[in-house]
Homo-oligomer: A and B are copies of this chain.
Amino acid sequence: MPDTTGYDVAAIREDFPILARQIGDVPLVYLDSANTSQKPAAVIDAIDAHYRAHNANVARAMHTLGGEATAAFEGARAKVAAFIGAAGPEEVVFTKNASEALNLAAYTLGSRLQPGDEIVISVMEHHSNIVPWQLAAERTGAVLRWFDITDDGRLDLAKAEAENLINERTKVVSITAVSNVLGTVNPVADIAAQAHAVGAVMVVDAAQAVPYAGVKVEALGADLVSFTGHKMLGPTGIGVLWGRYDLLADLPPFLGGGEMINVVKLTGSTYATPPHRFEAGTPPIAEAVGLGAAIDYLNEIGIENIALHEERITAYALTRIAAVPGLKLLGPTRPVDRSGAISFTLSTADGEEIHPHDIMQLLDSRGIAVRGGHHCARPLHERLGIVASTRASLYLYTTTAEVDALADGLVYVANFFGGKR
């Protein structure tokens, strides 16, 4: 049913084959898109067609198939560049996922770090934006420092200022644009300005932002931005590191191998210019084709329409879920600077907290897919004083009926473990 703005969620759902699936004998209610998104037929078919008719290695293969595969692969790079407003395709490095992109950043920026230099991240980061910096700090003697959060789940900017968190020793600041647990949208452009004021490099983990918000790298004010294909309707096996070209050109190689070289000699090698310098070996070719098709699909629906849908369905879900007895929302409770990852804890009527695994399991028996655990953000959970939480996450294909099913399911869960069976 098209809503008044013409956003036709029913028609969109038709494009996603898996959404017709039954779980046991009930229909699938997929509310785990922050974990990975489902794929429209257009993406699946593009990968299929690539393997059936155009498969070849790229760059090094110059025959007709090689030319076709290279054009498709580099064409996908250009689509990504346009989608995020990069200055050009040469600023787009393909990696295997967002985690590799962040490790690429941490290894190459790490090569410039010295003991006493500071790296600033936040307690709400995903492990993929924590561990690479911990490892870089161990390798170099740099010090890792943390943004704390406020009680309503936003970066505690006041405390950071009071602590002089970003200062003349700061060399790297790496912050998520959107929390994958709290849904918080962070003021990365402001933080980037602070980082730049002290000469630090600003890295933005945009894994949860690019799929929804239509990120433009210029507006983020960042120097490096990472994201991942599988959360934005694309395939697994592909991620992106965008970088300002002059910064990329200045960074040393990370992985060595075929395609990233200029001249290899016994006595040493010289390296290709970006982006190829950072793409050792056969790249994710079919995956790039799939990601390109995903971007075409997102553009067709319109990222601003998706953002609007996300805003509305999030607002609806916040109200609907917050009304479940015994439920406590984590993160911002109002749909302002708030994306569609909604985490919470749930207690029975007698006040016993129900473990997320148990919530997830009972919801699953009703076809509802949510995630229970620490969502790869253990420091955040520790900061919140809990071990784990349950997360429902919404996307362009999520309906109000699905949110209703979740809310009803949660009431059922609370009753089940409360003894009202």
A62 pairs with B372, CB closer than 8 A: yes
For A30-58 the 0/1 string (1 means CB < 8 A from B) is: 10100110110001100110011111110
Interface size on A, residues (CB 8 A): 94
Residues of A357-410 contacting chain B, CB below 8 A: 357, 360-361, 363-364, 368-373, 375-376, 378-379, 382
Is the CB of A256 closer than 8 A to any CB of chain B? yes
Once the chains are docked, how many angstroms separate the CA of A135 from the CA of B280?
13
| A257: B residues at CB distance < 8 A | 99, 102-103, 126-128, 131-132, 376
Is the CB of A150 closer than 8 A to any CB of chain B? no
For A61-83 the 0/1 string (1 means CB < 8 A from B) is: 11111100000000000000000
Given contacts A28-B65, A30-B65, contact A236 B18 (CB under 8 A): no
Is the CB of A17 closer than 8 A to any CB of chain B? yes
Which of the 9-residue segments A112-120, A282-290, A324-332 touches chain B?
A282-290
Residues of A273-316 contacting chain B, CB below 8 A: 280-287
Once the chains are docked, how many angstroms separate the CA of A197 from the CA of B307?
62
Is the CB of A181 closer than 8 A to any CB of chain B? no
B61 pairs with A265, CB closer than 8 A: no
Query: Which of these, B284, B360, B361, contacts A237 with CB under 8 Å?
Result: B284
Question: Closest Cβ of chain B: how far from A70's Cβ, in Å?
Answer: 12
For A230-243 the 0/1 string (1 means CB < 8 A from B) is: 10000111110000
Query: Which of these, B28, B237, B357, contacts A238 with CB under 8 Å?
Result: B237
Query: Which of these, B23, B235, B376, B378, contacts A265 with CB under 8 Å?
Result: B378
Query: Which of these, B21, B28, B255, B287, contacts A100 with CB under 8 Å?
Result: B255
| A263: B residues at CB distance < 8 A | 378
Question: Closest Cβ of chain B: how far from A309's Cβ, in Å?
Answer: 21
Which B residue sits closest to A138, measured CB to CB? B268
Question: Closest Cβ of chain B: how far from A368's Cβ, in Å?
Answer: 8
Question: Closest Cβ of chain B: how far from A194's Cβ, in Å?
Answer: 21
Once the chains are docked, how many angstroms separate the CA of A380 from the CA of B269?
14
Query: Which of these, B62, B265, B370, contacts A361 with CB under 8 Å?
Result: B62
Once the chains are docked, how many angstroms separate the CA of A376 from the CA of B257?
8
Question: Closest Cβ of chain B: how far from A248's Cβ, in Å?
Answer: 18
| A54: B residues at CB distance < 8 A | 18
Is the CB of A124 closer than 8 A to any CB of chain B? no
Once the chains are docked, how many angstroms separate the CA of A363 from the CA of B65?
13
21 intermolecular pairs with C-beta atoms under 8 Å apart: A18-B51, A18-B65, A23-B63, A62-B371, A62-B373, A63-B363, A63-B364, A65-B369, A97-B282, A103-B256, A103-B257, A126-B257, A128-B258, A128-B280, A228-B281, A235-B286, A236-B282, A236-B284, A237-B284, A237-B286, A265-B379
